[in-house]
Amino acid sequence: MRSFIDDLAARDELAVVRRPVAPRHQLAAVTKAVQRAGEQAVLFEAVEGTAMPVVSNLYGSHERLCRLIGAGDRTFCERWIELTDACIASRDADVLEPAPASVEAEFVSGRLSDLPAITYHARDAGPYFTSAIFLAREPDSGVPNLSFHRSMQVSDEELRVRLGSTHDLARYQAKAEARGEPLEAALMLSCGPEIFLAACASLPYEASELVMAAKIKGGKILMRRCKTIDLEVPASVDIVVEGRFLPGVKRPEGPFGEFMGNYVEVGDNHVFEVSHVSYRPGAVFHALLCGSPEDLRPLEAVTAARVYRHVSAQIPGVIDVCCRPNVMISIIKIRKAYEGHGKHAILAALGSYLDYNKVVIVVDEDVDIYDLDDVMWAYMTRGRADTRAMILNDIPGFYRDPHKDHWGRLAIDATMPWGREKEFARKTVAGEDAIDLRDWLA
């Protein structure tokens, strides 16, 4: 984490807040203001109630995500698929190795209350760990899994955790609970980019996110043993909370402001019994504002890669896929080769991710799919509004949707009419791309 922050500072991608900030609402409010101003990360040096600095908005930039995975001249989708395929072809034994014994001396034991207790939204039940990455092993195979789950801080001994029903960790817990056993897990709160991004990956059940982390890093992951549970965690992680999910025990959790932009109300959720807390002195705590660019950009990028893989396997000419400004939309850029090409792309996309593809839009190769203004310009100016839009009624959507608010689909073919491309060529100003305003403005 420290080296990542230092690199951001060297690139002028880090804002620093030196005045004291309150962890209840104020830190989140300042973070939101920084995000409105641009894509910089923000480091809070003095957070009331804790000795730890706090950093946020580390992953709120698509360009930064591309850099972190080594995309180079390729799109995020292309590079992410390459990393995923390499991950699936490898094993833990190929990329994990024990850390030197001296690493253990870098950590001190503490309590949960040593860590920042950040309350983000106005109606949140209390402080939450929002960047919480849980590491657990499949009860039968032992395959490790990394995944995000919001965790409400109740006391030094207890967290209440919402396990999404489609996540592998929920399946692990259910399998252990069926045997009347607790599920051991380690909660990691200050991770390097390779660990964070690997936890975002959507991998087959039998694949390991730790291998994905090694592929992103381009090297092996050093592991250290936990103190109170039979797990190993990456030695690079600066803050680790050990514990276990109790079988057959649920307690009230929430409300909490989730990534969709509204509150999830109080519900009975899983109880995580804390057995040990360790951290490096000088550790920087990662705070993630749910529903903010830092939350959405990684989710959008990996979802786009999943859609890209599926659609490009079905039809030719797929250039890139974007899921901005919200993961519920997929915007597909194609190099159009025949009449109806755009509609074929729509059909392929609708079947690529049944949870999230509430809206699908297909555009030509000259459209900036990361700019919704440009996407809607293509729809508005390049053909009819009615015949290029399709509404599909009563199609199930997002899995957590008891009231069917996310049922139905909207599909738009915003490409130019086939055979009339010259009529819709964009106007340009000669030499506009060569202008550097620093040469012209005092």
What are the extents of the domains in the chain? 2-293, 315-424
pLDDT bucket at 259, cuts 50 / 70 / 90: confident
Tokens of 164: 């999404």
Class of domain 315-424: alpha beta
DSSP string, 93-111: HHHEEEPPGGGGGG-EEE-
Task: Give the whole-angstrom CA distance, residue 127 versus residue 107.
Answer: 24
Amino acid at 135: L
Single pTM value for the model:
0.92
Q: What is the chain's length?
A: 442
pLDDT bucket at 142, cuts 50 / 70 / 90: very high
pLDDT at 167: 87
> If DSSP codes are grouped into helix, strand and coil, which group holds residue 219?
coil
pLDDT at 164: 79
User: To the nearest 10°, the Cα dihedral for 72, 76, 78, 83?
Assistant: 90
The owner of tokens 């949140």 is: 124
pLDDT at 93: 83
pLDDT at 169: 95
pLDDT at 354: 83
149 pLDDT above the threshold of 90: yes
Residues 6+ apart with CB under 8 A from 423: 416
Give the model confidence (pLDDT) of 39-81 as tens digits: 999 999 999 999 999 999 999 999 999 999 999 999 999 999 9
Q: How far is CA 64 from CA 7, 133, 270, 376, in A?
A: 11, 20, 34, 26
Phi-psi region of 186 (alpha: psi -120 to 50; beta: other; left: phi over 0): beta
pLDDT at 91: 87
The rounded mean pLDDT for the chain is: 95
Task: Give the whole-angstrom CA distance, residue 292 versus residue 132.
Answer: 16
18 pLDDT above the threshold of 80: yes
Contact 311, 318 (CB under 8 A): yes
The owner of tokens 């030719």 is: 316
Give the model confidence (pLDDT) of 377-386 as tens digits: 999 999 999 9
What is the second-level CATH architecture of the domain 2-293? Answer: Roll (2.30)
pLDDT at 285: 98
Give the model confidence (pLDDT) of 400-432 as tens digits: 778 888 889 999 999 999 999 999 999 999 999
165 pLDDT above the threshold of 90: no
> If DSSP codes are grouped into helix, strand and coil, which group holds residue 149?
coil
> In the chain, what percentage of residues exceed pLDDT 70?
100
Contact 228, 132 (CB under 8 A): no
Give the model confidence (pLDDT) of 267-283 as tens digits: 999 999 999 999 999 99
DSSP class of residue 113? Answer: G
Task: Give the whole-angstrom CA distance, residue 108 versus residue 111.
Answer: 10
Contact 374, 385 (CB under 8 A): no
> In the chain, what percentage of residues exceed pLDDT 90?
90
Residues 6+ apart with CB under 8 A from 275: 228, 229, 242, 243, 244
